[in-house]
Amino acid sequence: MNRWKDFSGSPETVMRRFTGIELGILLLAGTFLVVGADMVFYPTEMNVFHQVYRRMHAAVEHISKDRSQIYGILAMLFGLGLVWMVFTGRRK
């Protein structure tokens, strides 16, 4: 449903406020967008530790600068998807 139902000037039909959950999702989306942009424009090599299920040791994955940019693009796309979900989600 469209956020703007009509332009009659009635305050209850012109625009709906965001709920607390929607604001939280927008905050999370902003975080993904900022961190993703940082990873795209300032890529760094890093080691990421993964806990392996049913093993005592952790696996280490080396992330190159190119892969860091790919993960940054994916994070930005996920953040944009969250923003899209909030603005086009089903309304009741």
4 part of a folded domain = no
Cα 42 off chain centre by:
19
What total of structural domains would you count in the chain? 1
Within-domain flag for 48: yes
Let me know if residue 47 belongs to a domain.
Answer: yes
Domain contains 16: yes
Task: Tell me the pLDDT tens digit for each residue of 59-92.
Answer: 888 999 999 999 999 999 999 999 999 888 765 5
In degrees and rounded to multiples of 5, residue 44 shows phi and psi of -135, 150
Amino acid at 38: D
**32 burial type by CB count under 10 A (0-12 exposed, 13-18 middle, 19+ buried):** buried
Asked if the structure places residue 74 within a domain, the reply is yes
Domain assignment present for 39: yes
Domain residues for the domain of 67 are 11-88
Q: What band does 3 get if pLDDT is binned at 50, 70 and 90?
A: low
> Considering the domain boundaries, does residue 6 fall inside one?
no
Rounded to two decimals, the pTM is 0.72
Does residue 1 form part of some domain?
no
Q: Are 86 and 29 in contact (CB under 8 A)?
A: yes
